[in-house]
Amino acid sequence: MSTLITDTNAVLTFTGQWARQEMADYIASAMSCEEIDALYGLLYAMGELAAADMWMAAHARNAEPGDRHYRTSDAQYAVPVDPIDLLQCDSCQ
């Protein structure tokens, strides 16, 4: 397989289409872990990190416990934070 990309317009078209959230939401849950890993790797290699992460997140949303890409809900780890405390400003109190 050649590692030289000669048609950059085709790459831009591909990444533009596959970077759409609605497409990821519709298709990612039907993909196997191996397929999503391959797409993630391709998008990542093309410099489309946000799109790669979006596809992985869309796939993981429908994963079951025990699946490779299963993620527990982040909400259970959320800690309320007082924004004034974050400022660490005595006059803000």
Q: Map out the domains of the chain as residue ranges.
A: 1-71
What count of residues does the chain have? 93
The average pLDDT across 57-72 equals 75
Whether 93 shows a pLDDT value over 60: the answer reads no
pLDDT of residue 83: 66
Give the whole-angstrom CA distance, residue 62 versus residue 33. Answer: 11
86: left (phi over 0), alpha (psi -120 to 50) or beta: alpha
Whether 59 shows a pLDDT value over 60: the answer reads yes
Residue 70 near residue 63, CB atoms below 8 Å? yes
Question: Which residue type sits at 79?
Answer: V
Whether 52 shows a pLDDT value over 90: the answer reads yes
